[in-house]
Amino acid sequence: MSSPALAALLACPRCEVALRQYPDSSFGCGGCGLNFPLLDKLPCLFAEPAAALAEWRQRLQFALEKLAQDAGGLQLELQNPRLRPLTRERLTQLNRACGDQAARLAELLAPLSLHNSQTGIATHLALRTRPPTDQGLTTYYPNIHRDWAWGDTENAESLKLISGALLGQALATRQSDTGGGPGTIVVLGSGAGRLAYDLHQQLRPGVTVALDFNPLLALVAAQAVAGTGIQLWEFPIAPRSMGDHAVLRTLVAPEPVRDGFHLLLADVLHPPLLAGSVDVVVTPWVVDILTEDFRSFAARINGLLKPGGRWISFGSLAFSQPEAAARYSLEEVLAIVMGSGFAEPDVREDEIPYMCSPASRHGRRELVVTIAATKERSVPKPDRHRALPDWLVVGTQPVPLLPAFQLQAMTTRIYGFLMGLIDGRRSVTDMARLLVEQRLMTREEAEPAVRTFLTRMYEDSQRPPGF
């Protein structure tokens, strides 16, 4: 359905020109000529949408292959005639769930196959918009069940804290004509969409945009908020009982979402939004997992907000950047926010339940930080996010001899040498002696190192498959 209010917010993620909307509700850019397809009615606003969808298609294939591998392993175990009856019942249930889950995921994500483009991954790399390799299709799969099946307590606590941060003081944002809430809320990194849905239903803004780059999460959200719902299997990490090893959940919102709610597939680091177009930006569990330094990201949020707009950051603030200098403390975060054009933020810390599935023993409580900051001035626009360096993308510059590369090269050489020594005849002592002869290690280091290496290899081979 065409939405002038949404179209008025959107900009090309490549050249930042305002987008135009076509009759079929897809979008195009008059500046660079790029057209953005729909994925089952969801706009795909990546800087290179064909390449991005192709990569997600590959990750879907990997997820389906993993389920098939797990099912194959279970079928092999079920051939054991000595299995106890209860064990056979549990493995049979898991085997059935794996096969059924693969069919359900393939059906849900069937729209990915509609974009069979021959665009090479090189184009995607050149634009520095490649999704992080640690973000698989199912990386945040448990969150789907938290959002739409059993997470009412956690969802309510999160909504209370974030809406309280918005409504706790007079909003300096634009007000919608029909309601008392902010005119526009954008949730960056919306995941499976429950928080964005709850904010839209409770605060009644004119427009809510839920933006995430994962098509599985977005497609589940689309069916959940529409009220039609979808059924998918939950595979708890620590099942409470035999029947909890695989649980078929119905994922659906309490009621269909009101008008003005929009789901977008896009990259948080290349948000397809016009500068100064948004009243409220919410970043739930996002700022500390991004590949971009928080200082640049804070300036990026500033650029999206209208004067007096509000930024709500919510989550654990557990930064995991490779550089120690970028793993910021709360005090550093607040200083960066104020240095990025925001007034002194309102801050509170609260303990809430986190991922407490009724089928799992693995739930916990998390100390979350809610930061609410009002934009009081504009700041210089940060450089376009570059996910990869020129020497890797262009390919004509020398590959730098980074310390990590040197260490990995030595490690790979030793591991490769050790793997080549495994022939069914050599002992640990024999292998250690050859390491010494090759001057890869001293006599004192070699045998403990070989034993440690083989122990890890053996333990990895004994681990049960994950889901």
CA-to-CA distance for 156 and 264, rounded, in angstroms?
Answer: 24
- Distances in Å between the alpha carbon of 61 and those of 56, 65, 105, 270? 9, 6, 10, 26
Place of tokens 């490690």: 411
Domain encompassing residue 454: 401-462
The helix or strand, by DSSP H or E, that contains position 231, with its residue range, turns out to be strand 230-234
Render pLDDT for 337-386 as a digit per residue (tens, 0 to 9): 999 999 999 999 999 999 999 999 999 999 999 999 999 999 999 888 76
Residue 326 forms part of a structural domain: yes
Residue 433 and residue 302 share a domain? no
Q: Is residue 178 part of a domain?
A: yes
Both 348 and 211 in one domain: the answer is yes
* In a shared domain, residues 243 and 176: yes
pLDDT value, residue 388: 64
223 and 146 fall within a common domain: yes
In a domain, 26, yes or no: no
pLDDT of residue 351: 97
Is 258 a member of any domain?
yes
How many residues comprise the chain?
467
Q: Mark whether 236 and 322 lie in a shared domain.
A: yes
119 lies in some domain: no
Phi-psi region of 214 (alpha: psi -120 to 50; beta: other; left: phi over 0): beta
pLDDT, residue 116, reads: 47
Does residue 195 sit in the same domain as residue 252? yes
List, in sequence order, every residue forming a beta bridge with 29; answer none if it has no partner. 19
Q: Is residue 31 part of a domain?
A: no
Residue 65 within any structural domain of the chain: no
User: Is 315 strand, coil or helix?
Assistant: strand
Is residue 108 one of the residues assigned to a domain?
no
Question: For position 197, which CATH number holds?
Answer: 3.40.50.150
Indicate if 266 and 167 belong to the same structural domain. Answer: yes
Number of independent structural domains in the chain: 2
pLDDT at 54 (0 to 100)? 86
Residue 189 to residue 285: CA distance in whole angstroms: 8
pLDDT digits (tens, 9 = 90+) for 140-184: 999 999 999 999 999 999 999 999 999 875 443 444 444 456 799
Q: Tokens 């994962």 sit at which residue?
A: 214
